[in-house]
């Protein structure tokens, strides 16, 4: 990728409902707090790592943000991030941001997902130009 990208256009892409970043991430106070906050991401990840995080979300899943699938005794299935665990309960946040306390006595099976909760294929949806703008925007955050 040789294009430099325009951060202000990348901000528009980030906030656009079409690409759904703000369904799961907060940056500059905008978005939902489900995946990691991105307000300082430009300090943490260089551009190559940002491309990788967007194009291959499952290649390096951030600690504490692994997805879990829980099957309840009732047969219901729940998916989300585990916020806390006690001996009797797990607290799960689902992809809508809803927080649920689940008694372990109701859980039939718990399985850590091998893939990220972040959708695959965002790179294809974005296309090269928007992807480059988006990465140039993210790389400015926290600097
Ligand atoms: C359905 C929720 C969801 C959507 C939509 C989503 N993400 Fe993510 N994202 C996550 C989760 C959960 C993680 C942490 C797990 C992982 O590393 O894969 C993550 C990780 C990341 C990371 C790495 C953060 C770090 O601290 O290492 C970046 C960067 C990122 N997402 C950017 C984006 C961008 C840009 C978009 C929109 C094109 C997007 N995400 C859409 C859920 C989502």
Count CA atoms within 13 Å of residue 3 on its CB side. 13
117 Cβ closer than 6 Å to some ligand 1 atom? yes
Give 15-41 pLDDT, tens digit per residue.
999 999 999 999 999 999 999 999 999
Cβ distance 37 to 24 under 8 Å?
A: no
Measured CA distances, 71 to 34, 67, 90, 93, 108 (Å) = 21, 13, 13, 15, 6
Ligand 1 atom closest to residue 13's alpha carbon, by position in its atom list: 38
Q: For residue 87, which phi and psi values (nearest 5 degrees)?
A: -70, -20
How many CA atoms within 13 Å lie on the side-chain side of 83? 14
**Is residue 11 in contact with ligand 1, taking CB distance under 6 Å?**
no
4 band by pLDDT with thresholds 50, 70 and 90: confident
Q: Which atom of ligand 1 is nearest to the CA of 57?
A: 18
Q: Are 142 and 13 in contact (CB under 8 A)?
A: no
pLDDT, tens digit, for every residue of 52-110? 999 999 998 988 899 999 999 999 999 999 999 999 999 999 999 999 999 999 999 99
Return the CA Rg of the chain. Answer: 17
User: CA torsion 124→126→130→135, rounded to 10°?
Assistant: -80
**Residue 19 Cβ contacting ligand 1 at under 6 Å:** yes
């Amino acid at each position: 990728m040789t294009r430099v990208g325009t951060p202000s256009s990348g901000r528009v892409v980030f906030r656009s409902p079409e690409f759904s970043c703000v369904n799961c991430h907060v940056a500059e106070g905008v978005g939902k707090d489900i995946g990691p906050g991105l307000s300082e991401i430009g300090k943490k990840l260089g551009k190559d790592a940002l491309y990788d995080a967007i194009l291959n979300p499952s290649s390096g899943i951030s600690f504490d943000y692994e997805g879990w699938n829980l099957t309840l005794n009732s047969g219901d299935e729940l998916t989300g991030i585990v916020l806390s665990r006690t001996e009797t309960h797990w607290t799960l946040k689902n992809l809508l941001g809803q927080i649920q306390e689940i008694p372990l006595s109701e859980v039939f099976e718990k399985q850590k997902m091998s893939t990220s909760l972040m959708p695959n294929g965002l790179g294809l949806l974005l296309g090269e130009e928007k992807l480059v703008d988006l990465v140039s925007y993210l790389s400015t955050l926290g600097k």
